Amino acid sequence: MDALKSIITESSFEINEKYVPKHEVENVVNIMIVTNNVYPLKIENSDRRYVVCECSPVHRGDLAYFTTLCNSFDEDFYNNLITFFMTRDISQFNPRNIPMTQAKKDIIKASVSPV
């Protein structure tokens, strides 16, 4: 948990390549975790790092659904997607305003030590 936290929050990290002196680089890492685990990691009540979204299981195992979905990702889809993102008003967006979802509340509750 602490290792992941430092990867997310540190402004730089050290690279230790073979046959090259150690050097520091800017941390531009963005991480997305996708899992089937109900409680994939511990999250503290005061967390400001993680956005937790729960996906519906309604199409779990439905190969035909996902095949159709993947086949719909054609040039028109991507053109429409880029148009959507380029014209979306994000003037009020605050990346520090992390939503508290029910899924995140559940993980926080499960993360509390029983002692």
**pLDDT tens readout for residues 88-112:** 999 999 988 999 999 999 999 999 9
For 26-73, how does the pLDDT look when each residue is reduced to its tens digit (9 = 90+)?
A: 999 889 989 988 899 999 999 988 999 999 999 999 999 999 999 999
How buried is residue 4: exposed, middle or buried, by Cβ count under 10 Å (0-12/13-18/19+)? middle
Give the pLDDT band of residue 1 (cuts 50, 70, 90): low
Q: What is the phi/psi pair of residue 12, to 5°?
A: -150, 170
What is the model's pTM? Answer: 0.72
Q: What is the pLDDT of residue 7?
A: 85
